[in-house]
Chains A and B, each alone.
Chain A
Amino acid sequence: MVNLTIDGKEVTVSKTATIYEAACEAGVHIPVLCYAKKLLPYGACRICLVEVEQMKGRLIPSCTTPVTEGMVVTTTSDEIVKVRKTVLEFLLVNHVVDCPVCDKGGECDLQDLSYEYEVVTNRFEGEKFDLPTDEVNPLIERNMNRCVLCGKCVRVCDEIVGYGSYSFINRGFETKIATAFDRGLNCEFCGQCVSMCPVGAILPRPFKFKARPWQLKEVDSVCGYCGNGCTITLGTKDKKVETIRFNDKTGVNDGNLCIRGRFGYSYVNSDERLTKPLIRKDGELVEASWDEALAAAVEGLKQAGSAAGVISGARLTNEELFLLKNLAAAIGTDNLDNSGGECYKGVTEGLQQTLGLQASTATFPQVENCDAVLSIRSDFYETHPVFGMVVNQAVRRNNAKLSVIADKRGKFTKLPNARTLLHKPGLEVNILNAMARVLLDEGLAKTERLNGVEELKGALADYAPETVAATTGVDAEAIKVAARELAAAENAAILLAYGLPYTAASKELGIAAANLALLTGIAGRPGSGLYLCGEKSNSQGAIDLGILPGAEGMGVQQMLTAATENQLKALYVVGEDMLSSYPDRDAVEQALSKVPFLVVQDIFMSPTAQKAHVVLPAASFAEKNGTVTNAERRLQQLRSAIPSPGEARTDFAILQGLLTGFGQDAAAAPADVFGQLCAATDQYRGIDLEMIGPQGYVWGGDILTPITRNLVPVAGTQPVDAEYQLLVGSSLYHSGTVSTHAKGPQAVVAEAYIEFGREDAKALNIQEGDLVKLRTDAGEIQAKAKVDRRLPQGVLFAPYHFGALKLNKLYRGQAAIPVQVG
């Protein structure tokens, strides 16, 4: 610790702090333009100049100067004010000062500083910038005439996102921020640059001319897309969500968001939202009153009794899931399940058998300090982009060694020094087994306190790295090095995402990853963690609350089979578009057509809802209060920002209505239900709403210690033998099916595509944008081709978000689908 004096105040700060940080701690305000908490110090703007007694004779930039013992700092004096004013005058020489039409007006740092330092005239004259603006881009508007060259956009894109879209080009007065060759943006569109820009040079295009910052009401809530659980601050005006505001004070994401979080909110305002309950009469869905619809739903479910099924999405709040579970009990059925029913088995069964847990063992921010990271599947960045940014920081700031077990290249494989274990599709378990074998063979495994070491050794006989290398196509040496790095690292992380498109071998993968976590000691060690991350915002909550088949109950797949065999009498589907996203569309379609009574509760008229007998219009995440649990076990609060459109009600209110129909008392408010669910759920016992602060509350603490330490042998698979294999997965720009109703993600990826590697495209004579057909025995699909460099030869990829593609006609939960092209 270092002691120094700032403006007469004594401060003690860590020796790595800068003067600016020390001043912040002391509550002394120093103006800045180019400083940002999460970026490395840069010193571009020279606004933060201060006087230091020990360095008399010149002014010192406070944001880049480290503190030293006994420093005496003065932050304001006539000279400092004069210099700051001059800096502002310099900036305003070329600046266009179009504040009246600039959307930053009102929260612009340059505007605020000019006001503070009373820069009303300018002693200098110069030409105003007249640079071309980019107003074509649907998401990010760039007007470099307003730029102050602080370089925050350049730095955030490089340091945090790891994309590197921007750079300074030209020199001297001509310097400006531009993309490579000064072309349009073609990036991840995460909008981090938008959130960082202190002036109006980079702005969110969808918010253009919508409102002034001071007119917006800000509501902190949690993003409704993936399991990362980022805090998003909704800027609302006139009962509409107009934009997402920058907020690095609350939540786990440090103000970072991906395209979905920042630009994917607009489905909330969509005109296609369901606004009235619908009941099927004479084969047609017609509008009905809530009383009628609820009565019809209760009647149908009551009649079905134990032969009813309840399937939930994983985006409901914990409170709603709790009511749903109560409802299932009231109906008298054990048939309760969430999200496809197969994909989460890595957590519920895999981790349960090995670690005795059903959750990730550590929290996201820890990963930043990891020395080694193993990502199973390169798609992890696509499913959890903001967590991916944390991994990027581990790699860049902490020189973490990143290994990616990947069937295709992706963002992770492009990170500096990333080791890509590029394998034939579907063979992740083989490689994990080989890594475990390396650890055991080389004596690197921390086998004390582990059960089943000998069994595992025996079972891994066939998984020598060389053998696995031959089957999977990965370099044996790479497997060995990756395993050694993981074992040697003081802090290490293993990442694996689960979700509807990753159903194949979910349990086996979970077990194999847990085996590795046990052998390396990652599971339960402070600073390290095994992360099994759910695809949806409350996947973990659904598991915690037990939205799973009861003792006698059926899971999703069995329910669908039972429905096809006329065994299931009623089905209640909440927040899921099964037809579009569940594996094996034909089976789902048949089941939904056969089930005598189908209730669908959703916010859009999804293909699933079109088959329903009763459709209940629900509320989006922006209209709800409640809690959700993210993939690192962090409970956070959703806050309602706008009213629901038309007569739509929150899922909470709908479930209350149904419970009342079953003659049960339902608590009046989500807060009451939270108390009940905490009392009823082991992991949540003792938590109350007060404990969920700005950073949420992580149940089980930062590190979850494994209850059991069982190594469980799992068998790998054989590669699929086919010339062309189709992989199904998540696209970075979308999440689930709901993002296809949001303008932001749609502006970048508007429709389904089939991705080809360049070699394959050349061999098949396919150009970008050509209409291509893929065939299997199960059917065929047709979409536009996308030609890229990330797929190995013989591997094709299609994202699962678009119902119109009917991809799940071919996808039945396989890891890779043998297809014929054309």
Chain B
Amino acid sequence: MFKEFAKGLSITLKHLLPGNRTTVDYPKQKLEMSPRFRGLHRLVPDQHREKCVACYLCPTVCPAKCITVESAENEKGEKYPKVYEIDLLRCIFCGYCVEACPVEAIEMTGAYELANFKREDFNFDKERLLKN
């Protein structure tokens, strides 16, 4: 019985040794996120403009109704999002917008540090989303 007890405890003690830690010293140290992680959204830029063509599928599919799109016509006669906003306070990070997008113009990054001081700061407009 004692033998088994020592054996078990040795595993525990082994884990106490340096190099065997599973937690990290956040915020000094940060974990690498899985590519499938659903963090802050990002609008994908194209050469001269955003990839988004303002098809309205993401605001339509969004269960939290946190996406605002307003389409317009640019000088080339193309459809583009004049307004693209995500209200992060409402977002539930379900990723449906990414799934719905027919042109892969929106994706979710690994960014998870989204705390902020003011309500307005949670409103991500097109410029902010493109910079992510």
* Chain A residues in the interface with B (C-beta under 8 A): 99-101, 105, 135, 208-212, 214-215
Contact = CB atoms under 8 A, between A and B. Distances in A.
B55 A105 contact: yes
A210 B55 CA distance: 11
A99 B55 contact: yes
Given A208-B73, A209-B72, A101 B57 contact: no
A100 B102 contact: yes
Contact of A100 (B72, B77, B103): B103
Contacts of A99: 55, 102
Contacts of A105: 55
Given A209-B71, A209-B72, A101 B53 contact: yes
A208 B72 CA distance: 8
Contact of A212 (B56, B73, B77, B78): B56
A207 to B, nearest CB: 11
A159 B121 CA distance: 59
Contacts of B57: 100
24 contacts: A99-B55, A99-B102, A100-B53, A100-B55, A100-B57, A100-B79, A100-B103, A101-B53, A101-B54, A101-B79, A105-B55, A135-B77, A208-B73, A209-B54, A209-B71, A209-B72, A210-B71, A211-B56, A211-B71, A212-B55, A212-B56, A212-B60, A214-B60, A215-B56
Contacts of A210: 71
What are the nearest 8 A-B pairs in CB distance? A100-B55, A101-B79, A209-B71, A212-B56, A100-B102, A100-B53, A209-B79, A101-B53
Contacts of B55: 99-101, 105, 212
Nearest to B69: A212
Contacts of A135: 77
Interface in B12-55: 53-55
Contacts of B77: 135
Given A99-B102, A100-B103, A101-B79, A209 B56 contact: no
B65 to A, nearest CB: 12
B68 to A, nearest CB: 11
A135 B75 CA distance: 12
Contacts of A208: 73
Given A209-B54, A209-B71, 12 more contacts: A100-B55, A100-B57, A101-B78, A105-B55, A135-B77, A209-B72, A209-B73, A209-B79, A210-B71, A212-B55, A214-B60, A215-B56
Contacts of B73: 208-209
A208 B54 CA distance: 12
Measured as residues with beta carbon below 8 angstroms from the partner, the interface class of chain B is 10 to 19
Nearest to B78: A101
Contacts, number: 29
A184 B56 CA distance: 31
B35 to A, nearest CB: 25
Contacts of A101: 53-55, 78-79
A210 B56 CA distance: 11
Contacts of A209: 54, 71-73, 79
Nearest to A133: B77
Nearest to A210: B71
A810 B72 CA distance: 45
B60 to A, nearest CB: 7
Contacts of A211: 56, 71
B106 to A, nearest CB: 13
Interface in B65-97: 71-73, 77-79
Interface string B91-132: 000000000001100000000000000000000000000000
A212 B100 CA distance: 15
Most A CB within 10 A of own CB, among B57, B78, B103? B57
A99 B57 CA distance: 11
A135 B78 CA distance: 11
A135 B102 CA distance: 24
Contacts of A215: 56
Nearest to B103: A100
Nearest to B105: A100
A135 B71 CA distance: 17
A210 B69 CA distance: 11
B82 to A, nearest CB: 9
A717 B58 CA distance: 69
Contacts of A212: 55-56, 60
Contacts of B102: 99-100
A530 B13 CA distance: 106
A99 B53 CA distance: 10
B83 to A, nearest CB: 12
B2 to A, nearest CB: 66
A214 B55 CA distance: 12
A480 B103 CA distance: 69
A751 to B, nearest CB: 26
Nearest to A100: B55
Nearest to B57: A100
Contacts of B54: 101, 209
Contacts of B72: 209
A214 B79 CA distance: 18
Nearest to B77: A135
B97 to A, nearest CB: 14
Nearest to A141: B77
B115 to A, nearest CB: 33
A42 B17 CA distance: 84
B70 to A, nearest CB: 9
B119 to A, nearest CB: 23
Nearest to A214: B60
A214 B61 CA distance: 12
A101 B103 CA distance: 11
A210 B82 CA distance: 11
A211 to B, nearest CB: 8
A723 to B, nearest CB: 50
Nearest to B82: A209
Nearest to B79: A101
A156 B123 CA distance: 48
B121 to A, nearest CB: 26
B108 to A, nearest CB: 20
A215 B78 CA distance: 21
Nearest to A101: B79
Nearest to B74: A209
A211 B60 CA distance: 12
Contacts of B78: 101
A215 B71 CA distance: 13
A295 B57 CA distance: 52
Nearest to B71: A209
A215 B77 CA distance: 22
A105 B56 CA distance: 10
Nearest to B56: A212
Nearest to A238: B70
A208 B73 CA distance: 8
Contacts of B79: 100-101, 209
A99 B56 CA distance: 11
Most B CB within 10 A of own CB, among A211, A212, A214, A215? A212
A215 B56 CA distance: 9
A99 B71 CA distance: 14
A214 B54 CA distance: 15
A145 to B, nearest CB: 14
Nearest to A105: B55
Nearest to B80: A209
A212 B71 CA distance: 10
Contacts of B71: 209-211
A480 B130 CA distance: 77
Most A CB within 10 A of own CB, among B56, B72, B73, B103? B56
A209 B73 CA distance: 7
B50 to A, nearest CB: 13
Contacts of B53: 100-101
B30 to A, nearest CB: 36
A393 B63 CA distance: 49
A266 to B, nearest CB: 16
Nearest to B102: A100
A82 to B, nearest CB: 27
Nearest to B52: A100
A101 B71 CA distance: 10
